[in-house]
Structure formats: structure tokens, C-alpha cells
Amino acid sequence: MAEVLITGANGEIGHSLIHFLAEEGRYQVVGCDLREPTPALRRLCSHFYVGNILDQGLVDEIHQNHCFDKVFHLAGLLSSSGEKNPYLAHEVNVNGSMNIMKLAQEDANRRHKPVVFMFTSSIAVYGLQGDPNPDRALKEHENVLPTTMYGINKHYIECLGDYFGVRDKSMEEQRMVNLDFRCLRFPGIISAESMPSGGTSDFGPEMLHAAAQGKSYKCFVKPEAKLPFMVMQDAVKALLDLSRADMSKLTRSVYNVNGFSVSAETIRRRILADFAQADLGYEVVPFRQKIIDSWPRDLDDSAARNDWGWRPDYAFEKAFDDLLIPSVRRRYSGD
Ligand code: SER
């Protein structure tokens, strides 16, 4: 059976993706993460490597034991963590990514076939500074002006993906490069099953989980702070759909995907409609507000819609009514 590698396998997206891939049963899933997986997650993987993608010994060991058809490279530090520790963010997000890209290229050489390399990029590659029309939905090529270490790292790996990728290369050039690099620029992601850590869009999921647990919460950005978001189910669907898309249909290597664009206050009010007693306030953290101010308020994902049929299943109302509120209730009530 074909093998697929998931880095950051124990992270938010990795967790969900492994469940979908394991259910599908077409791959042997090899996980890698800094943290030990739960026994349940471990059982879904044929192998799980606990360690750092900066550790060349670990990467060599993975390389010796496997030959991958596909890689989902999800490991990385998020934006707020990256601002607190920019050197570490650069190490992990750039050098770690290079290690995994090199591993995938060596596998492509062994297989004489490009390896599909899925990379999770972000709205953090954009910068709104000085934009006269900050409310518009940005296309992939507009305002690529990252201001955070995380955004800079993500954009650089997008560029390396084009450098090492087979897209738009002649047959001659394709002998030298061998990644089928495909990348999604994700908005903030909300899941009822897990919590992000160190991101700047985390206020959305943090409000939801705090309310469901009866905990007080102070949102760290202003009420009017608006961002694109999507639910985890749609994020995983986008990853799987793009990874399976016919290469001839793809007109680019980097695609925006979006679910819904909402302000912090809209999320807060929606949560209060179901958890009326919740104590959700505001206490703005300036460095995080500054990050949000630089990020797009909306994303244009028409290229993904046109090329590989992307459609989110969950708009804002459906996301909260049918998925997030019922799931988070179940999660914390022990049902
Ligand atoms: N969710 C990420 C973060 O907040 C953005 O892609 O850092």
C-alpha cells in the first residue's frame, strides 16, 4: 500500500487528517510529531515518529524506513508563537520544511515520479498595510506582504515549492526538480474537537471552548477585528481534494480557500446565543491586534473553485448551528 507522511501529525489539522485518511484506507499513514500521540491516534498510523523535523538523524531514519507517494507537511510554529520566538520559528518553519522537502525529493528520485507535497500556508502571507480598500477579498497574487516571521516563513516555502516543483517546467528542467508541490492558504480554523496553540486567529476557537466549559475568557483582539475562518472539516476536505486533484486541472501551486468572514464580535454574539451565561469579554493584546490588522478580512478563493471544484460545506450559520455548538456541547458535557 502507498505510504503517506504527515508531519505535525499530533497537531490540530494532523489529528483530523489522520482520521480521514485512515478511514479511507488507501494509505499507510506515517506520522511524525514532537509530541507523543494518544494511543487512539497511534493506532491509526502504521508508524509514528516522535521527534523534531530539525533532527537530521530522525529525518534520515524516516527516509530509510519508507518511500512516500504523498507528504502532508503541517508541522510549524504559528504566528503569535513566531513573534515571541522568531529565531525558533525560522528554524522550524523554514529549515524544518527544507528537511522534509529534501526527503520528499529523494523519494521522488527513488520512485522516478514526482511526490505530491501538500503544504499548509496561511492568510499570514498577506499584508494590508496602507491598503485603501482593506475590506475586499484578496486574490492569491494581491498584497503578498507578510509582516510576521510566520507569514514570511510561509511565503518563502511557497516560493521554494515553485522552485522545486514540476509545474511550468520543461521536460529537461523536470529532471532536476521533482515535487508536485500543492499549497493551501488557510484562513483561521475552528474546531470543536481540538484547540490551536500560538496562533493569532485562536480567539475564535478559544471563545467557543471557554463558553462551553463555563470559563471566563478575554478575547485578545478588538470586537470589530474581522478575519476569514473555516471549520476543521472543510480544512481537511480542502487538503484531501487538492491532494487528489488532477494535475492538468491546476493552474497554480498556491490556492486560497475560505469558509466565512466574520468579526470577533459576530462570533461572540453567536456563541452567547447558545451559551447565554458565558463570560466573554475583551482585553486587547497590542502585538496580536497588530497582526490581525495586517491580515486580510476576506479571501477570494475563486481559483480553487474553478480549478478543482472547491466548495466549503459550512457557511457561518451552518458551521455554528449544525457542527460547532452541538459538538462542543457534547465534548464538555461528557455525552
Ligand atoms: N491560524 C494561523 C495563526 O493564527 C494563521 O494561519 O497563526
- Regarding whether 117 and 219 lie in a shared domain, the answer is no
- Say if ligand 1 is within 6 A of residue 200 CB: yes
Q: Could you tell me if residue 303 is inside a domain?
A: no
What is the percentage of the chain residues whose pLDDT exceeds 90? 92
Ligand 1 atom with the shortest distance to the CA of 198? 7
pLDDT in tens, 177-223: 689 999 999 999 999 999 999 999 999 999 999 999 999 999 999 99
What is the percentage of the chain residues whose pLDDT exceeds 70? 99
Mutate to test the pocket of ligand 1, among 150, 189, 256 (most ligand atoms within 8 A of CB): 150
- Say if ligand 1 is within 6 A of residue 82 CB: no
Ligand 1 atom with the shortest distance to the CA of 81? 7
Separation of CA 35 and ligand 1 centre (Å): 20
- Regarding whether 23 and 167 lie in a shared domain, the answer is yes
Separation of CA 178 and ligand 1 centre (Å): 29
Q: Could you tell me if residue 143 is inside a domain?
A: yes
Cell of 1: 500500500
Separation of CA 142 and ligand 1 centre (Å): 19
- pLDDT of amino acid 101: 97
- Say if ligand 1 is within 6 A of residue 28 CB: no
- Regarding whether 274 and 250 lie in a shared domain, the answer is no
- Regarding whether 118 and 66 lie in a shared domain, the answer is yes
pLDDT at 8 over 90: yes
Lowest mean pLDDT among 23-32, 90-99, 199-208, 266-275: 23-32
Ligand 1 atom with the shortest distance to the CA of 154? 6
pLDDT band (50, 70, 90) for residue 1: confident
Q: Could you tell me if residue 131 is inside a domain?
A: yes
- Regarding whether 268 and 124 lie in a shared domain, the answer is no
- Regarding whether 207 and 58 lie in a shared domain, the answer is no
Q: What is the mean predicted confidence (pLDDT) over 140-166?
A: 97
User: Which domain covers residue 320, as residue numbers?
Assistant: 189-229+258-298+314-333
Q: Could you tell me if residue 239 is inside a domain?
A: yes
CA-nearest residue for atom 1, ligand 1, is 188
- Regarding whether 275 and 195 lie in a shared domain, the answer is yes
Q: Could you tell me if residue 118 is inside a domain?
A: yes
Mean pLDDT of the chain: 96
The CATH number of residue 104's host domain is 3.40.50.720
Q: Domain tally for the chain?
A: 2
Q: pTM (2 decimals)?
A: 0.96
- Say if ligand 1 is within 6 A of residue 151 CB: no
CA-nearest residue for atom 2, ligand 1, is 199
Separation of CA 40 and ligand 1 centre (Å): 27
- Regarding whether 250 and 270 lie in a shared domain, the answer is no
Q: Could you tell me if residue 223 is inside a domain?
A: yes
The 3-class secondary structure across 57-75, one letter per residue, is HHHHHHHHHCCEEEEEECC
Is residue 163 among the annotated active site residues? no
- pLDDT of amino acid 169: 81
- pLDDT of amino acid 168: 83
- Regarding whether 244 and 284 lie in a shared domain, the answer is no
CA-nearest residue for atom 3, ligand 1, is 199
Q: Could you tell me if residue 71 is inside a domain?
A: yes
- Regarding whether 52 and 119 lie in a shared domain, the answer is yes
- Regarding whether 324 and 240 lie in a shared domain, the answer is no
Separation of CA 217 and ligand 1 centre (Å): 19
Q: What is the mean predicted confidence (pLDDT) over 234-254?
A: 97
- Regarding whether 61 and 45 lie in a shared domain, the answer is yes
Q: What is the mean predicted confidence (pLDDT) over 290-299?
A: 98
Separation of CA 189 and ligand 1 centre (Å): 8
Q: Could you tell me if residue 11 is inside a domain?
A: yes
pLDDT at 175 over 70: no
pLDDT in tens, 297-327: 999 999 999 999 999 999 999 999 999 999 9
- pLDDT of amino acid 23: 87
